[in-house]
Amino acid sequence: MAPQSHDHQKPGQTSLDKEIHTDFAKEMTYGDYLQLDKILSSQVMQSTQHDEMLFIIIHQVSELWMKQILHELAAAMDCIRKNDLEPAFKMFARVSRIQQQLIKSWDVLSTLTPADYLQFRDKLGHSSGFQSYQNRLIEFTLGYKNAHVLAVYQHQPELYGQLQQVLGSPSIYDAAIMAMAERGLPIAPECLDRDWSQPYQPHASVEQAWLAVYRNVNQYWDLYELAEKLVDIASQQQQWRFNHMTTVERIIGQKPGTGGSAGVAYLRRALDHRFFPELWSMRTLL
C-alpha cells in the first residue's frame, strides 16, 4: 500500500493555489526583473492636477517604445550590411507594430482638454517633446538628417556625441541602396559615398534600381520585401507625425511649444518630408 500523503489541502485552497510559489525571499520576482520600483516611482508630478499623470505616463511609455524601435533598427541595419536581409524583415515588422502603438497613444492623450493642460503647462518649464533625443535618433536612422537640431543637446556632451555619430553615419535607407548595388543594380557612385550627415536627395539611379526590383520580383524577392517593409515604416512614421500635429493643435492650438519650438507650425513642416522618396516615386512608373 502506498504511503499516505501528509500534504493536505487547506480549506478554501485550490490545487492551482498549491502550485503557486510564494517564497521569494531568495529569488527574483516579477517586480525585481522588471525593476518596477524604479519604473512606477518615476512619475514625479510637478503640480497637483489630476491630468498631469496621464501626460507623464504617455510620454514615458512612448520613450520606452522608441528605445525598442532603435534596438530593432540597429539589428536590422546590421543584417542589411551583412547582406542577410530575411532576419531584418521580422525586426521591421515589429517596428511597424510598435509605431501603431505610438500612433494610438495620441488618441489617449487627446482626452486631455485645453483647460486640463493649462492647469499644469506652466510647470513644464522649457521641457518639450521637441527635445526627445530618441525621436531624433529614429529620424536620423531612417534618413531624416538635420544638423541644426543638435544645438538642443550641446549641454549634454555624451548625448551630443551619440547624436553626431548617427547623424554622420549611413541611414537604413542608405544601407538598402548599398544592398542593391551589391546585387549588381547600377547605382550612381555619389549615392554610395557621400556626406551622410546631409539630407538625402532623391536620385534617378536609385529610382531605376527600385523599379528593376519591382519589375523582377522573383529575381529580387528579398530586396522587394525589404522595400515593402521600409514603405510600411515610412507610412506609419508619417501617420505618427500627423496624429502628433493634430493632437497638439487640439490641445494648444497655434501657441508656441513649451521648449520654444513653433508648435503646430513646426510639426506641419515636418510632414512635408517623405522618407525613402524613390520607393514612392517609382510607383508611378510601374
> The CATH number of the domain where 181 resides is what?
1.20.58.480
Determine the Cα–Cα distance for residues 191 and 208; give it in Å rounded to an integer: 13
Residue 281 lies in a domain: yes
| Residues in CB range of 218: below 8 A, 6 or more apart | none
Contact (CB, 8 A) for 173 and 200: yes
Residue 24 lies in a domain: no
Residue 20 lies in a domain: no
Residue 23 lies in a domain: no
C-alpha cell at position 286: 510601374
Instruction: Give residue 95's pLDDT.
Output: 98
Number of domains in the chain: 1
Going 124 to 238 to 100 to 247, the CA torsion angle's sign is positive
Contact (CB, 8 A) for 59 and 129: yes
Instruction: Give residue 84's pLDDT.
Output: 95
Question: Which residue type is seen at 183?
Answer: R
- pTM for this predicted structure: 0.88
Residue 152 lies in a domain: yes
| Domain interval for residue 157 | 51-119+129-285
How many helices and strands (H and E) does the chain possess?
A: 14, 0
Residue 221 lies in a domain: yes
Residue 3 lies in a domain: no
Residue 6 lies in a domain: no
Determine the Cα–Cα distance for residues 253 and 264; give it in Å rounded to an integer: 7
Instruction: Give residue 153's pLDDT.
Output: 93
Full pLDDT tens readout for the chain, 286 residues: 555 555 555 666 666 555 666 666 678 999 999 999 999 999 999 999 999 999 999 999 999 999 999 999 999 999 999 999 999 999 999 999 999 999 999 999 999 999 999 999 989 887 877 789 999 999 999 999 999 999 999 999 999 999 999 999 999 999 999 999 999 999 999 999 999 999 999 999 999 999 999 999 999 999 999 999 999 999 999 999 988 889 888 887 877 666 666 678 778 887 888 999 999 999 999 9
